[in-house]
Structure 1
Amino acid sequence: MKAIFKSISIIFLVFYSLNCFSQRIEVSGKIIVFDSIPIVNADVIVKSTKEIFKTNNLGVFKCECNEKDKLIVIAKGFNKYTIKVKKKSNELIGNLKLAKIPRAAEIAIDKGHILMVDSFKKLAKKNSGQKDYSKYISIMDVIRNEFPSLQISNSGIIIRGKSSLIGSSAANIEIDGVITDYSSLSGLSPTNIAKIEIIKGSDTAIYGVRGGNGVVKITTKK
């Protein structure tokens, strides 16, 4: 009985090994960002074996894995990305997204993941929602041209029109999350401004009483 059991075990192991071997496939793919820019030297990790493969200067990689395996793509400055492998998979595409952390684009460049630097920077800025205010001379020039409905006076910026009540009608000024005064605007350079938002109506509820006249929210480039 022992001999029979041993023989059956050997046969089972042989068939199991052959079955596992037959499931190994070779796949290739490309890792990009913004649908077109190759990501260089990214780690492509085969989940089943933990083997790590690198993308080349064109963002291309080749690896061997199991059918229905998963490939984990990691590159500094980008979110982790998972590619599901299917039978006879080939030319897999991983379109990564910039991580939502400060200086994500700069980190990706510093780590050598991007060779098309100029194109990458332009697309990163476009997708971040940042505007280029460098053509303006001052912050007041920015506000006059970008937000013509606002009124600018020596005492502040008025969003809702002049109030008939006693007291200031000027909006509050917020710079990088800090409520400050109107005079602080004079120290801002248009080239250092990433975004300007005009907050009014029910959106000012988070500011409490201070948001009664609206808020000019300014975010600078970090």
Structure 2
Amino acid sequence: MKKIVFLFIISLTFNLSASSQTKKLVIKVTDENNKPIPGAIILFDNVRQKSWTNSKGVFKTKIEETPEEISAFSPKIGIGKVKYSGQEVVHLKILKGKDKNLISVEDQHNNVTANAFQYRNIYDYLVGKVPGVNVVGTSIMIRGVNTVNGSTTPLFVFNGTIVSQSYFGQIVPTDIKSVTILKGPESAKYGIRGANGVIEVTSK
């Protein structure tokens, strides 16, 4: 009986100690007009977190290790950073175009991409890095291509193989080596299937 009580006390002490090291953190992300930015990616010391800001521009989490710097990234606006001094609530503002070059292509000739981990999915990647593509949610249209049978969805090709859009949506941005947009005569090799344009993705 004494042994059980002793083990219970040890367990309780350990749990209390662990909980005391966990700290709540609320991050509020806004633009230059103090409007909330939903869907902003949060990074602690340049390490992306698993979730992003909600519809009110708020990100909530619990931390055990205190980061030195907190960043918020929006593909449409840019990136904002702030030094973390231990407070429970952090207000982080992203100025339009601020440090946006941090997510651009480093070397287009060698197809080397930079900081692809900052994108939530391939749709964010296309918005932030690939010109000539209109993306709204999971709807994709290549600019300058006429609709065929009322559809604007391009043909998706991954590593030389035609894939469905559901498969295409599962491609992880950090696995991407290059993205090529084909339209008009360039897409003729795919026949009528490429009439709405083609998005070719090659993995690393």
TM-score category by the smaller chain? 0.3 to 0.5
- Write 1 or 2 for the structure with the bigger share of strand: 2
Larger Rg: 1
- Give the TM-score of the pair, scaled to structure 1: 0.38
